[in-house]
Structure 1
């Protein structure tokens, strides 16, 4: 009978307390380590959610700026890329200056009147319901009015957040400029941290994500401009109160598909009925016409060249991201879902290509 002798003292090659000799235990320990690492990364992502969203916002708006300079390149290809980017930034800055100087006073005055108009309409709706035999015993009018005004307050705070959340907006703006000036630098730097066999796959995925983001945001900007200008022009032509504010809210809320349109439409209709039944019905018609044009012409035209996201998927992501991360998460839900969808599709294609057998033909 052979007896194995154990060393009496520890040495450089002797087993340590963390060494595992059993293969089954070693495999299970590796699995547990992976799951613990995933849970740790998830907890870290939740803890750093706000900075990560700022970075993602910089990527998204960098793609928007890049799309603008590419559009200018089609018209003036002889201009250097830096000049084209500067023109895009100057155009955005000029729009903000116009919005603050020329439209700021009028819109601020109209925004101050909006809560009173909404509360008046809620009171009128309650009286109309009671006159038609609809009991309101189960509802508290003040509670309903406060909830409606609270929703309006969230919308106006979101509008004011464009100017009030200066720090976040400024960081996103600076990051977007860095990303758009040297996109290859950051893409190569991130790819360098991946295994060598995955770098080409990441490059292709990043290029596809960039193209999808540019088209998605270009379509979103076109929709915002069409909805905002058309709403303002039609309401102003009919003499609807607060036409400028409603047009601006409609244009800004168009950036949030599925959620923005019902909110802006509800506000528009309530303000319209404050001026009478005829004006209210006109506002309903304006809402239907504007949304029909955007939904049946602009959105399908852009969706053919983007990630083609399912509406229910986008709505669910907006609800989750808006609840977890506020207005910034709500704004970025659509681009984040588009990037995740492209990454999953690329990974699925890669796995299918790896599993597909090599077919050989013999004579």
Structure 2
């Protein structure tokens, strides 16, 4: 059995400050996860997500900071404490699953309990129970090469959960699946995470996985947390270009004076909210209307633009515009045909003030730009 149990602790099940130096890069990530909570860790390539997973799993020691699981110190460089991976009580589902190719599905799942002291028979009994829980009771004799992608993912999940981990790490667990299998497996994963009594950390680049599976989102860039909160908070008020792209919004930063926000280059946006000081302005691409000429009357924000790119985006077209305000706009194929949109074409863009959201910006944070 594991050295770290999932009985409720006085504080969060995971209490960590992950500080890791790798050359010029530094990860500095405070992380707290309660029992039964699923936290999604998101960020662009190079943000430090993989380093965080390796550190929590025991594959990369901390440079500084600390890691405590269920009240037990696991990694504390200042005290010269470091616990090997097999004694941490951490289960990991890797992106490529990393199943042992020479072992059956049953023995893959039994591997963890065996490493934690169970005899072969007991370990196989535990493994059989876990395969049944993930719907693969009849697949125990199969080798990994005989499993579909979705089945391999479920075997990897069963292997991770069979050690009764205090912390379950899921490193891009759905990335290797095709779209249809991903949808089905996401629903199954959601059920198993809801039943897991310990803490869970989901590392992903897919906002849909995070929004469906996680209770809370932690977003990192350049090794540091840039935003944290539930899905509603993050999607309503993104605070960096990366987050804005993640949730599909255009984002700008400027100086608010009442209902006018003046951006760094002097361009001014009229907004629905009255603010004073540093502010963000966000609006969805669907709020951007395109016209052949300058629109009359209603829009309070209108400017000349040039079509930079045209791409299919769901049932619509995503139009990236250059000009005094770089912006993404979503238009229907019918509207695009009517406007005869093409790369390099001049158009007018317009956004109603009522379609915008303005909110205070932390003056210590980096400057925002545009995102689509």
State the TM-score bracket (shorter-chain normalisation): under 0.3
More helix by share: 1
Q: TM-score, normalised by structure 1?
A: 0.17
TM-score (norm 2): 0.17
Kindly name which structure, 1 or 2, has the bigger radius of gyration based on alpha carbons.
1
